[in-house]
Chains A and B, each alone.
Chain A
Protein backbone atom coordinates (compact mmCIF):
# COMPACT_ATOMS: atom_id res chain seq x y z
CA UNK A 1 0.00 0.00 0.00
CA UNK A 2 1.48 3.34 -1.01
CA UNK A 3 -1.22 5.80 0.00
CA UNK A 4 -2.86 6.61 3.34
CA UNK A 5 -5.39 9.43 3.76
CA UNK A 6 -7.60 10.10 6.78
CA UNK A 7 -9.48 12.60 8.87
CA UNK A 8 -8.63 12.34 12.56
CA UNK A 9 -11.45 13.22 14.96
CA UNK A 10 -9.76 15.18 17.72
CA UNK A 11 -11.94 13.72 20.47
CA UNK A 12 -10.75 10.23 19.46
CA UNK A 13 -7.04 10.76 18.84
CA UNK A 14 -4.17 12.88 17.59
CA UNK A 15 -2.26 12.99 14.33
CA UNK A 16 0.98 11.07 14.84
CA UNK A 17 4.23 11.89 13.05
CA UNK A 18 5.63 8.51 14.19
CA UNK A 19 2.79 6.72 12.40
CA UNK A 20 3.50 8.78 9.28
CA UNK A 21 7.23 7.98 9.36
CA UNK A 22 6.53 4.24 9.73
CA UNK A 23 4.12 4.36 6.81
CA UNK A 24 6.47 5.97 4.29
CA UNK A 25 9.68 4.16 5.17
CA UNK A 26 11.10 1.92 2.44
CA UNK A 27 14.57 0.74 1.37
CA UNK A 28 13.68 1.90 -2.16
CA UNK A 29 13.41 5.52 -1.01
CA UNK A 30 16.37 7.88 -0.74
CA UNK A 31 14.31 10.88 0.41
CA UNK A 32 11.57 11.66 2.87
CA UNK A 33 9.77 14.97 3.19
CA UNK A 34 7.41 15.68 6.07
CA UNK A 35 5.23 18.75 6.47
CA UNK A 36 3.60 19.38 9.83
CA UNK A 37 1.02 22.14 10.15
CA UNK A 38 0.23 23.33 13.68
CA UNK A 39 -2.22 25.79 15.19
CA UNK A 40 -0.34 28.98 16.09
CA UNK A 41 -1.09 31.38 18.91
CA UNK A 42 -1.60 34.52 16.82
CA UNK A 43 -3.40 35.47 13.64
CA UNK A 44 -3.94 38.94 12.24
CA UNK A 45 -3.02 40.53 15.58
CA UNK A 46 -5.45 38.38 17.57
CA UNK A 47 -4.39 35.95 20.28
CA UNK A 48 -5.59 32.49 19.31
CA UNK A 49 -6.35 29.69 21.78
CA UNK A 50 -7.36 27.05 19.24
CA UNK A 51 -9.05 26.27 15.95
CA UNK A 52 -12.14 24.17 15.24
CA UNK A 53 -11.94 22.36 11.91
CA UNK A 54 -15.26 21.61 10.22
CA UNK A 55 -15.13 19.19 7.28
CA UNK A 56 -17.37 17.58 4.68
CA UNK A 57 -16.11 14.06 5.42
CA UNK A 58 -16.86 12.19 2.20
CA UNK A 59 -15.83 15.03 -0.11
CA UNK A 60 -12.60 15.60 1.83
CA UNK A 61 -11.54 11.97 1.61
CA UNK A 62 -12.38 11.89 -2.10
CA UNK A 63 -10.34 15.06 -2.65
CA UNK A 64 -7.38 13.75 -0.59
CA UNK A 65 -7.20 10.57 -2.67
CA UNK A 66 -7.55 12.47 -5.93
CA UNK A 67 -4.87 15.02 -4.96
CA UNK A 68 -2.40 12.35 -3.84
CA UNK A 69 -2.94 10.26 -6.97
CA UNK A 70 -2.48 13.37 -9.12
CA UNK A 71 0.78 14.09 -7.26
CA UNK A 72 2.04 10.56 -7.89
CA UNK A 73 1.14 10.76 -11.59
CA UNK A 74 2.74 14.18 -11.91
CA UNK A 75 6.00 13.56 -10.02
CA UNK A 76 6.66 9.90 -9.20
CA UNK A 77 4.25 6.97 -9.36
CA UNK A 78 6.22 4.98 -6.79
CA UNK A 79 5.92 7.63 -4.04
CA UNK A 80 4.58 6.58 -0.65
CA UNK A 81 2.24 9.25 0.71
CA UNK A 82 0.63 9.77 4.12
CA UNK A 83 -1.93 12.58 4.55
CA UNK A 84 -4.01 13.24 7.65
CA UNK A 85 -6.05 16.30 8.69
CA UNK A 86 -7.73 17.05 12.00
CA UNK A 87 -11.49 17.29 12.44
CA UNK A 88 -12.80 19.13 15.51
CA UNK A 89 -11.10 21.38 18.06
CA UNK A 90 -7.29 21.66 17.94
CA UNK A 91 -5.57 23.72 20.67
CA UNK A 92 -2.55 25.95 19.98
CA UNK A 93 0.61 23.93 19.34
CA UNK A 94 -1.16 20.76 18.19
CA UNK A 95 -1.02 19.31 14.67
CA UNK A 96 -3.77 20.21 12.20
CA UNK A 97 -2.31 18.58 9.08
CA UNK A 98 0.52 16.18 8.37
CA UNK A 99 1.86 15.25 4.96
CA UNK A 100 4.66 12.69 4.67
CA UNK A 101 6.24 11.59 1.41
CA UNK A 102 8.78 8.84 0.78
CA UNK A 103 10.29 8.70 -2.69
CA UNK A 104 13.50 7.98 -4.60
CA UNK A 105 14.97 11.49 -4.71
CA UNK A 106 14.79 14.79 -2.77
CA UNK A 107 13.41 16.97 -5.56
CA UNK A 108 10.26 14.87 -5.93
CA UNK A 109 9.92 14.56 -2.15
CA UNK A 110 9.75 18.36 -1.69
CA UNK A 111 7.59 18.93 -4.77
CA UNK A 112 4.99 16.30 -3.85
CA UNK A 113 4.72 17.60 -0.30
CA UNK A 114 4.21 21.20 -1.45
CA UNK A 115 1.81 20.20 -4.22
CA UNK A 116 -0.43 18.28 -1.82
CA UNK A 117 -0.53 21.10 0.73
CA UNK A 118 -1.50 23.75 -1.81
CA UNK A 119 -4.13 21.54 -3.46
CA UNK A 120 -5.71 20.62 -0.10
CA UNK A 121 -6.09 24.33 0.62
CA UNK A 122 -7.78 24.89 -2.76
CA UNK A 123 -9.84 21.71 -3.19
CA UNK A 124 -10.73 20.07 0.11
CA UNK A 125 -13.92 21.26 1.85
CA UNK A 126 -12.42 22.16 5.23
CA UNK A 127 -13.25 25.26 7.29
CA UNK A 128 -11.52 26.92 10.24
CA UNK A 129 -13.15 28.65 13.17
CA UNK A 130 -10.60 30.48 15.30
CA UNK A 131 -11.09 30.88 19.04
CA UNK A 132 -9.55 33.90 20.77
CA UNK A 133 -8.34 34.61 24.29
CA UNK A 134 -11.17 37.08 25.01
CA UNK A 135 -13.72 34.33 24.32
CA UNK A 136 -14.71 35.44 20.84
CA UNK A 137 -14.60 33.17 17.81
CA UNK A 138 -14.63 33.70 14.06
CA UNK A 139 -14.97 31.64 10.87
CA UNK A 140 -12.04 32.48 8.61
CA UNK A 141 -12.44 33.50 4.96
CA UNK A 142 -11.31 31.08 2.27
CA UNK A 143 -11.21 30.04 -1.36
CA UNK A 144 -14.56 29.75 -3.18
CA UNK A 145 -15.24 26.53 -5.08
CA UNK A 146 -17.67 28.46 -7.29
CA UNK A 147 -16.20 29.54 -10.66
CA UNK A 148 -14.85 33.11 -10.24
CA UNK A 149 -16.80 34.44 -13.26
CA UNK A 150 -20.05 33.50 -11.50
CA UNK A 151 -19.26 35.60 -8.42
CA UNK A 152 -20.44 39.11 -9.23
Chain B
Protein backbone atom coordinates (compact mmCIF):
# COMPACT_ATOMS: atom_id res chain seq x y z
CA UNK B 1 0.00 0.00 0.00
CA UNK B 2 1.00 3.63 -0.28
CA UNK B 3 -0.09 6.82 1.43
CA UNK B 4 0.29 10.47 0.47
CA UNK B 5 1.98 12.49 3.15
CA UNK B 6 1.09 16.18 2.93
CA UNK B 7 4.10 18.18 4.09
CA UNK B 8 4.09 21.19 6.40
CA UNK B 9 6.79 23.24 8.10
CA UNK B 10 10.22 21.64 8.37
CA UNK B 11 8.94 18.40 6.79
CA UNK B 12 8.96 20.28 3.47
CA UNK B 13 12.70 19.56 3.45
CA UNK B 14 11.77 15.94 2.62
CA UNK B 15 10.58 16.79 -0.89
CA UNK B 16 10.22 19.60 -3.41
CA UNK B 17 6.58 18.52 -3.86
CA UNK B 18 3.66 19.32 -1.56
CA UNK B 19 3.20 15.61 -0.84
CA UNK B 20 5.48 12.63 -0.41
CA UNK B 21 4.39 9.16 -1.51
CA UNK B 22 5.34 6.56 1.08
CA UNK B 23 5.24 2.81 0.47
CA UNK B 24 4.08 0.77 3.45
CA UNK B 25 3.20 -2.88 4.10
CA UNK B 26 -0.52 -3.75 3.94
CA UNK B 27 -2.55 -2.88 7.09
CA UNK B 28 0.03 -0.41 8.36
CA UNK B 29 -0.79 2.03 11.12
CA UNK B 30 0.63 5.45 12.08
CA UNK B 31 3.33 3.82 14.20
CA UNK B 32 4.59 1.99 11.10
CA UNK B 33 4.52 5.28 9.22
CA UNK B 34 6.70 6.87 11.94
CA UNK B 35 9.21 4.02 11.69
CA UNK B 36 9.32 4.27 7.90
CA UNK B 37 9.81 8.02 8.13
CA UNK B 38 12.73 7.55 10.55
CA UNK B 39 14.33 5.24 7.98
CA UNK B 40 13.76 7.67 5.10
CA UNK B 41 15.31 10.54 7.08
CA UNK B 42 18.34 8.52 8.18
CA UNK B 43 18.95 7.25 4.63
CA UNK B 44 18.30 10.38 2.58
CA UNK B 45 18.07 13.49 4.77
CA UNK B 46 20.71 13.15 7.49
CA UNK B 47 22.07 16.62 6.82
CA UNK B 48 18.70 18.37 6.88
CA UNK B 49 18.39 18.55 10.68
CA UNK B 50 15.20 16.46 10.67
CA UNK B 51 16.32 13.83 13.17
CA UNK B 52 13.57 13.51 15.76
CA UNK B 53 10.83 14.67 13.38
CA UNK B 54 9.20 11.25 13.19
CA UNK B 55 8.89 11.21 16.98
CA UNK B 56 7.80 14.80 17.59
CA UNK B 57 5.36 15.16 14.67
CA UNK B 58 1.64 14.62 15.00
CA UNK B 59 -0.44 13.38 12.06
CA UNK B 60 -3.81 14.67 10.86
CA UNK B 61 -6.38 12.62 8.98
CA UNK B 62 -8.26 14.15 6.05
CA UNK B 63 -10.80 15.67 8.43
CA UNK B 64 -8.00 17.62 10.17
CA UNK B 65 -8.01 15.65 13.40
CA UNK B 66 -4.99 14.20 15.19
CA UNK B 67 -4.76 10.43 14.72
CA UNK B 68 -2.97 8.22 17.26
CA UNK B 69 -0.32 5.59 16.57
CA UNK B 70 -2.89 2.77 16.37
CA UNK B 71 -4.82 4.48 13.55
CA UNK B 72 -5.08 2.06 10.61
CA UNK B 73 -4.04 3.69 7.35
CA UNK B 74 -5.95 3.13 4.13
CA UNK B 75 -4.37 2.68 0.73
CA UNK B 76 -3.92 6.07 -1.04
CA UNK B 77 -5.00 7.93 2.11
CA UNK B 78 -3.91 11.56 2.45
CA UNK B 79 -2.27 12.17 5.82
CA UNK B 80 -0.81 15.50 6.96
CA UNK B 81 2.40 15.57 8.94
CA UNK B 82 2.32 18.24 11.67
CA UNK B 83 5.83 19.06 12.93
CA UNK B 84 6.09 21.03 16.21
CA UNK B 85 4.20 24.31 15.75
CA UNK B 86 5.03 27.90 16.61
CA UNK B 87 3.09 30.74 15.05
CA UNK B 88 2.61 34.32 16.17
Contacts and interface: CB of A to CB of B under 8 A. Distances in A.
A56 B69 contact: no
Contacts of B84: 141-145
B88 interface: yes
B87 A124 contact: yes
Contact of B82 (A117, A125, A140, A150): A125
Interface stretch (B4-12, B20-28, B35-43, B71-79): B4-12
A145 B55 contact: no
Contact of B83 (A37, A53, A97, A142): A142
Size range of the interface on B? 20 to 34
B80 interface: yes
A56 B86 contact: no
Given A54-B9, A125-B8, A142-B83, A152 B55 contact: yes
Contact of A144 (B57, B60, B64, B80): B57
Nearest to A124: B87
B64 A127 contact: no
Contact of B86 (A37, A58, A121, A146): A121
Given A54-B12, A125-B8, A139-B13, A151 B55 contact: yes
Nearest to B56: A144
A41 to B, nearest CB: 17
A152 to B, nearest CB: 7
B60 A127 contact: no
A124 B87 CA distance: 7
B85 A125 contact: yes
Interface of A: 37, 53-56, 58-60, 62, 85, 96-97, 117, 120-129, 139-146, 150-152
Interface of B: 8-10, 12-13, 55-58, 60, 64, 66, 69, 80, 82-88
15 contacts: A55-B87, A56-B8, A56-B80, A58-B64, A59-B64, A85-B88, A126-B85, A127-B8, A139-B9, A139-B13, A139-B83, A142-B85, A144-B85, A145-B85, A146-B66
